[in-house]
Amino acid sequence: MNKIISKERFSEKVFKFEIEAPLIAKSRKAGHFVIVRVGEKGERMPLTIAGSDVKKGTITLVVQEVGLSSTRLCELNEGDYITDVVGPLGQATHIEKFGTVVCAGGGVGVAPMLPIVQALKAAGNRVITVLAGRNKDLIILEKEMRESSDEVIIMTDNGSYGRKGLVTEGVEEVIKREKVDKCFAIGPAIMMKFVCLLTKKYEIPTDVSLNTIMVDGTGMC
């Protein structure tokens, strides 16, 4: 059982949870995820760790209500307990000094991108972050991203904030004006697909997050 220390609403269906998990907080690295279960018969949900505080012994998760299990999790409040939080799982993101790196985050994918941006900056990279969402309300963690990025470009589908357009347009703008050595993308599968198609055209190595298909959490994949 893991206690919810704090809960914050980002938008109508997106919440940030700070959860008591001292061992995970101590050992997690950028790119790791946990599997969360609400209720003894609850579905296993993979969620990427968006941050941790070793002193407080907590990890941060950003959750979007999309189905029954995520809705049950989002209905919990500060002081409630989550049945299971297992991790850290997965392969940590490979971090080194690449040079200039573009990090593209779409929707709630911005949350797991944050620790990667922080780690890339700490490794001495020039980090340009592209945040994208359908509208202004779905742009999250902008302040934290600005603190760890050399530049932040914001794209919204409806033009309600930043520039109107898709995440790929923001990424390509950077590629056309300067040499990009590496790209990371986290967001909906279709968004990551089109970022990869774009960077492939420019022969830029790109990493994406596929933890959403890793429900077993036992290393079978």
| Sign of the Cα pseudo-torsion (31, 40, 17, 20, in order) | negative
Cis status of the peptide bond prior to 115, with omega within 30 of 0? no
Residue 208's alpha-carbon distances to 70, 76, 85, 127, 184, in angstroms, are 22, 30, 23, 16, 6
The Cα 218–Cα 196 span in angstroms is 28
Residues of the chain with pLDDT under 50: none
* DSSP code string of 191-202: HHHHHHHHHHHT
Domains 2-89 and 100-211 share a fold: no
The Cα 115–Cα 217 span in angstroms is 21
Phi-psi region of 73 (alpha: psi -120 to 50; beta: other; left: phi over 0): alpha
Specify the pLDDT at position 68.
87
Specify the pLDDT at position 139.
87
Specify the pLDDT at position 219.
58
Specify the pLDDT at position 198.
94
Domain range annotation of the chain: 2-89, 100-211
Q: Are 5 and 58 in contact (CB under 8 A)?
A: yes
Residue 45's alpha-carbon distances to 48, 52, 82, 85, 210, in angstroms, are 10, 19, 12, 10, 13
The structure's pTM equals 0.86
Largest separation between any pair of C-alpha atoms in the chain: 53
Q: Which fold has domain 100-211?
A: Rossmann fold (3.40.50)
Three-state DSSP class for residue 107? helix
Specify the pLDDT at position 129.
96
| Pair of tokens at residue 104 | 């593209």
Specify the pLDDT at position 220.
52
CATH (residue range 2-89): 2.40.30.10
| Pair of tokens at residue 90 | 């997965």
Specify the pLDDT at position 28.
92
| Pair of tokens at residue 154 | 């914001």
| Pair of tokens at residue 182 | 């590496």
